[in-house]
Amino acid sequence: LASMQSSSRACPCSCPSFKLREVASMYFTLVAVFLVILVVALQGSAPRGNDFPYKVPLDPQGLLELSWNVSYPERAVHFQLLVRELRAGILFGMSDRGEFENADLAVLWSDGHSSYFGDAWSDAQGQLHMDSQQDYQLLGARKAPEGLYLLFRRAFSTCDPKDYLIEDGTVHLIYGILEKPVHSLQAINISAIHRGLQRVQLLKPNISIPELPSDVETMEITAPDVVIPSQETTYWCYMAELPEGFFKHHIIKYEAVITAGNEALVHHMEVFQCAAEFDSFPHYNGPCDSKMKPERLNSCRHVLAAWAMGAQAFYYPEEAGLAFGGPGSSRYLRLEVHYHNPLVLQGRRDSSGIRLYYTASLRPYDAGIMELGLVYTPVMAIPPGEDSFLLTGYCTDKCTQLALPAAGIRIFASQLHTHLAGRKVVTVLARAGREQQVVNADGHYSPHFQEIRMLKEVVAVFPGDELITTCTYNTEDRSRATVGGFGIMEEMCVNYLHYYPLTQLELCKSAMDPGYLHRYFNLINRFNDEEVCMCPRVSIPHQFYSVPWNSFSRDVLKSLYGFAPISVHCNKSSAVRFPGEWEKQPLPTLTQRLREPTPRCPPAPRPQPAAPIPLD
């Protein structure tokens, strides 16, 4: 246009006349450009390729690679799906626990002539249906040498009953690959396609990873080529030692070092520092429950690093680091590795462990790790055949009043942990009997994806506050009771809090008073006119195994956990409780609970037909 105007001013009498066809072509080109800009503005602009900071392969072969970013102002997730070898189409979506039934899906398929993209859902039988509300918004599709890129957008909440609500915590992503064209969406048989799932935390907190200082050093605490025992559950202990004269440093990052091929066997790992009161510790490399393990190793309980399956590298905030080394700090460390070997594989060797990143440039605050939830005890149990059974552990106001500084502590990260029956975990902060805020929650928790997650905002906890951790379990596939304990078929309910400044409080947990469990077994005996053996020689797990599980025995146990006094473990790193009376403590009383969050619906979208979008 500028050149046209310039030409007009220079030669006012000799302007070339444009043919009507050329003028019309220019006009419609400008209109088309305007419409593209308008559609992008209305649907949300498509981010550039380098605007997707999070990436994960969906399938083991790497045919599908998902990248995404999170827009909290828009309350939406932008996805970029790379399909390396496009065949007849792909399915991508979300469901409660990775099922293909009752799933929320974006589908790309071909009928052999044309290709289509649409928002769909599957019913309880796995049959696909086009969604009447198209909430997967296609932003673009382009071919590249590496494959086909699909860009699409999805709001956190759509208020469509057929859609998945994207929320904090674990999201089970599902995928499927269509090998042959289909004449319609309804013709896709999801049971006959190559499919799978990947677990991610979609809603990453909007915080930056601190840069590592120039003087950062690394140290690996790893198992010394251990032969993994051919049994389902093993806790392996290995003693390591810091160099002589190792002065105080701050750990500012750590990550797992997993021996290739053992990713499915290493369930979780911890590095403990030993008590400084002992000048030396015997070397040991063997099972943690072995009678040959020196008794002194039980005093190595100060957590330096904790990793569980699925966790990524962990960074401390710029103002804090985890102290180790120097006066008052033991040179001895204990690595504990939990091997889960359900196939009882033999001869597998392992040198897994944890890599520490540390600096001599100390940060303003020493950080710590505090363990919340339930004590590892069979007193806490889940009946078989339960679809949703809750157990709660308490860090009481009495413990925080005694153990926390007047200025309180600041929680910046959290790692939730259960074994295989865990389905949900939540920790709530309560003050003066009123729930204040959720510290961390995962409504779609999976024991196969346990990350240490940075919190979206730092949580302040003061003396007299309570931290209440509740776990929800599913035992529908089990025929006998599941008791608390260390075995993978036993259960845990734990939240590892990462906080600063460091205090002496390392463990703040509870369990029901054992005396009330004895009364429970006695009552069940009288009600059922059966003999649940309560001999001193019979363990609590075996007493639970002999309970006849009917509605009465289930309801009474559930009620008992809701009112019976508790034994509180308000422990220092030496495993010694703080002074005080901790047995038969009353359950905390809550007079006000937090309201369940209400999904925020996006503005009413423009009417969109329940039809797929044709693609070139």
**Could you give the residue numbers annotated as active site?**
235, 417
What Å distances lie between residue 300 and 270, 510, 606, CA to CA?
11, 21, 62
Residues with Cβ within 8 Å of residue 94, at least 6 apart in sequence: 103, 104, 164, 166, 171, 172, 173, 174
- Taking phi over 0 as left and psi of -120 to 50 as alpha, with beta for the rest, 508 belongs to beta
Nearest to 89 by CA among 152, 191, 181: 181
Give the helix/strand (H/E) hosting 515.
Answer: helix 514-528
Residues with Cβ within 8 Å of residue 377, at least 6 apart in sequence: 484, 485, 511
Residue 51 near residue 69 (C-beta atoms within 8 A): yes
CB hemisphere CA count around 237 (13 angstroms): 24
**Count of H helices and E strands in the chain?**
6, 37
3-state helix vs strand vs coil in the chain, percent to 5: 15, 40, 45
**What span, in angstroms and rounded, lies between the C-alpha atoms of 293 and 285?**
8
3 state DSSP class of 26: helix
- If one counts every other C-beta atom within 10 angstroms of the C-beta of residue 438, the result is 15
Pair type for strands 137-144 and 147-155? antiparallel
3 state DSSP class of 383: coil
Show contacts of 43-46: CB within 8 Å, 24+ apart.
43/137, 43/139, 43/153, 44/71, 44/74, 44/76, 44/78, 44/137, 44/139, 44/153, 45/139, 46/78, 46/139, 46/140, 46/151, 46/153
Name the residue with tokens 């463990």. Answer: 507
Question: What are the structure tokens assigned to 167, written together?
Answer: 């929320």
Residue 367 near residue 539 (C-beta atoms within 8 A): no
Residues with Cβ within 8 Å of residue 481, at least 6 apart in sequence: 381, 382, 383, 384, 541, 544, 545, 547, 549
**What span, in angstroms and rounded, lies between the C-alpha atoms of 348 and 337?**
14
- If one counts every other C-beta atom within 10 angstroms of the C-beta of residue 320, the result is 22
Backbone angles phi, psi at 140, to 5 degrees: 175, 160
Residue 560 near residue 520 (C-beta atoms within 8 A): yes
- Neighbouring-strand partners of residue 440: 427
First to last CA, the chain: 32
What Å distances lie between residue 483 and 210, 379, 587, CA to CA?
41, 7, 21
